[in-house]
């Protein structure tokens, strides 16, 4: 098995693990929202922080859907650079989000995880899509 073809299952598992932990945070976001607030908070503060976290999680799901579409279409499945970037970023995101859940980190910390672990692979997937369908390049 070549190195690139061994990235395919690792990339798939890393994306799915990232997806599962994001869905888990959606279901249990109440605890993370309360961890972001002072001990005495109003319902307005809670709603504001909850909306911020829902927006961040929703954008993450959209970026994961974009990346999964490129992966399952075969466009980036065997692209070594995209596979390595995606596997590393999503595995890192999974570990960071596990800490986010277990340590009850502040919701603003999620944006850092999002910026470093969700955005780069999705942007590269979009650029690869433009290169393949817009410029007619080979994806690998």
pLDDT tens column, 30-87: 988 998 899 899 999 999 999 999 999 999 999 999 999 999 988 888 888 899 999 9
Q: Is residue 53 part of a domain?
A: yes
Q: Is the distance from CB of 4 to CB of 78 less than 8 angstroms?
A: yes
Q: Is residue 139 part of a domain?
A: no
Cα–Cα distance measured from residue 13 to residue 89, given in angstroms and rounded to the nearest whole number:
12
Structural domain range at position 41: 3-134
Does residue 37 lie within any of the structural domains? yes
Q: How many structural domains compose the chain?
A: 1
Q: What string of DSSP letters covers 23-59?
A: HHHHHTHHHHHHHHS-SS--HHHHHHHHHHHHHHHHH
Domain-located, residue 140: no
> Is residue 61 included in any domain, yes or no?
yes
Residue 138 predicted with pLDDT over 80: no
Q: Exposure string (b/e) for 10-35, b if CB count within 10 Å is 16 or more?
A: bbbebbebbbebbeebeeebeebbbe
Summarised one tens digit per residue, pLDDT across range 79-129 is 888 999 999 999 999 999 999 999 988 898 999 999 999 999 999 999 998
Q: What's residue 95's pLDDT?
A: 97
**What is this structure's pTM?**
0.90
């Amino acid at each position: 098995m070549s190195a690139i073809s061994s990235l395919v299952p690792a990339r798939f598992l890393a994306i799915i693990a990232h997806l599962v932990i994001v869905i888990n945070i959606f279901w249990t976001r109440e605890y993370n929202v309360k961890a972001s607030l002072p001990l005495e908070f109003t319902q307005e503060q809670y709603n504001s922080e909850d909306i911020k976290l829902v927006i961040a999680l929703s954008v993450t799901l959209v970026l994961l859907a974009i990346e999964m579409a490129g992966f399952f279409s075969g466009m980036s499945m065997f692209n070594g650079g995209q596979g390595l970037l995606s596997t590393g970023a999503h595995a890192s995101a999974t570990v960071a989000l596990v800490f986010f859940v277990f340590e009850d980190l502040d919701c603003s910390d999620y944006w850092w995880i999002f910026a470093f672990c969700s955005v780069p692979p999705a942007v590269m997937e979009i650029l690869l899509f433009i290169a393949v369908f817009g410029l007619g390049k080979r994806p690998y």
